[in-house]
């Protein structure tokens, strides 16, 4: 799994070196629905999923701790 993660990060690095979208061409990327983070009120869903499921994390939110959850 570590190898896969390293490969993914490396791939992102390679992509970074060949793509550059200018600021004035980011009209689609700046759309609120294109945000790469979870929406504000998805926090409630993430919260109950942390309790009701064994897995958590890797979504920019809760990873365990701060509650008597899994």
Partner 1 sequence: MAERQEVVVVVIKENMRRTVILLIVIFCAFGIAAAQEVDSTKVYKKKVLESTEVDLLMSLYNQDGVHSPVNGGIGTEKLVDGTPTIVISIPLNENDVLTIDAGISAYTSASSSNINPFMSVASLLKNANLFNTTGASRGGTTVVNPNPTTPAPPSKPYGTPWLASTGASHSDVNKAVHTDYSHSSDSRNLIWGTNVSYSKEFDYISYGFGGNVTALFNEKNTEVGLKGSAYLDTWKPIYPTELREYMDYGAANFQSSGYFKGVTILNQAGNASTAYMPSAFTPWDSKGRNSYTMSFFTSQILTQKLQMALFFDLVAQQGMLSTPYQRVYFADKPNFYIGYPAFIPVYTTPDNKAVYQLADDIERLPKSRYKFPVGARVNYYINETFVLRSYYRYYADNWGLRANTISFDLPVKLSQAFSVTPSYRFYAQNQISYFAPYETHLSTEQYYTSDYDLSKFTSNQYSIAVNYLDIFTGLKIGSMGLKNVNIKYSHYDRSDGLSANIFSFGLKFVGDK
Which residues of this protein are in contact with partner 1, per CB under 8 A?
Answer: 1, 4-5, 8-9, 12, 15-17, 19-23, 25-26, 28-29, 31-36, 39-45, 47-49, 51-60, 63-68, 70
Minimum distance, C-beta of residue 17 to partner 1, in the bound complex (Å)? 8
DSSP string, 1-59: -HHHHHHHHHHHHHHHHH----GGG-TTTTSGGG-SS--GGGHHHHHHHHHHSS---SS
Minimum distance, C-beta of residue 6 to partner 1, in the bound complex (Å)? 10
Instruction: Please give the Cα distance from 7 to 51 (Å, whole number).
Output: 31
Minimum distance, C-beta of residue 53 to partner 1, in the bound complex (Å)? 6
């Amino acid at each position: 799994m570590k190898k896969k993660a390293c490969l993914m990060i490396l791939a992102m690095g390679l992509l970074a070196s060949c793509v550059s979208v200018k600021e004035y061409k980011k009209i689609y990327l700046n759309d609120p629905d294109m945000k790469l983070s979870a929406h504000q009120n998805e926090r409630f869903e993430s919260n109950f999923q942390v309790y009701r499921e064994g897995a958590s994390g890797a979504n920019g939110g809760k990873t365990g701790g701060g509650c008597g959850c899994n």
